[in-house]
Amino acid sequence: MTLWRIRATVDDRPGFLSVLTASLALRKVNILSVQVHTTETGAVDDFLVEAPDELTRADLADAVQRGRGRDPWIAPADVRGLIDEPTRVLALATKVLDGRAGLEEALAALLGDCDISWRSSGSGGFTATGMQLSDPAGGTLYIRRAEPVFTPAEYARAQALVELVGVATRHAAA
């Protein structure tokens, strides 16, 4: 069996998630975890799945589309994906606060494969492929990721991590 991350958008209506999961089940795909991100275009469902070794990325994309999923993003995963999201975020915050990781390193771990740069000015916000966060040390952190697209929940998590680091930094200075 092989671990995969699958992200797809479905209409945010009763039963649509079950259609998608049934389509995956027909391919003997076992769903280990799921997060649902609400967006303006529908519910973005983010799965960690275990699939038979013979299934390819294309096979999984076909199962998603047959299950009424749109814009599938599929990538290999590893066992670290089995850690539930709240625990993972708290662990990252702890690493930043005790000095085992920097803020940029923690944001990269939180958001996955992304590019982070710093500029002396800017404002907060996000788009499908980028976000801007006020750096507690001053300036703005620019985060870019081609795929999967950013969701409001990911922006909120990143913003909360940055704010926590800012509060801790101010308390340490006082």
User: Is domain 2-82 annotated with CATH 1.20.120.430?
Assistant: no
The token duo for 58 is 């294309």
Residue 2 Cα distances to 16, 22, 29, 63, 77, angstroms: 25, 19, 10, 16, 8
Amino acid 72: pLDDT: 96
Report the SS3 class of residue 72.
Answer: strand
* pLDDT exceeds 90 at position 10: yes
pLDDT at 121: 82
pLDDT over 90 (residue 130): yes
Task: Tell me which of 121 and 130 has the higher pLDDT.
Answer: 130
Gap between the Cα atoms of 36 and 14, Å rounded? 13
The number of helices, as runs of H, and strands, as runs of E, in the chain is 5, 8
CA distances from 138 to 10, 116, 135, 168 (A): 39, 15, 5, 15
8 Å CB contact between 67 and 27: no
Where are the domain boundaries for CATH 3.30.70.260 in the chain?
2-82
Q: Which of 18, 3, 111, 10 is nearest to 57 (CA)?
A: 3
Separation of alpha carbons 13 and 158, rounded Å: 28
pLDDT at 122 over 90: no
Predicted confidence (pLDDT) at residue 81 exceeds the cutoff of 80: no
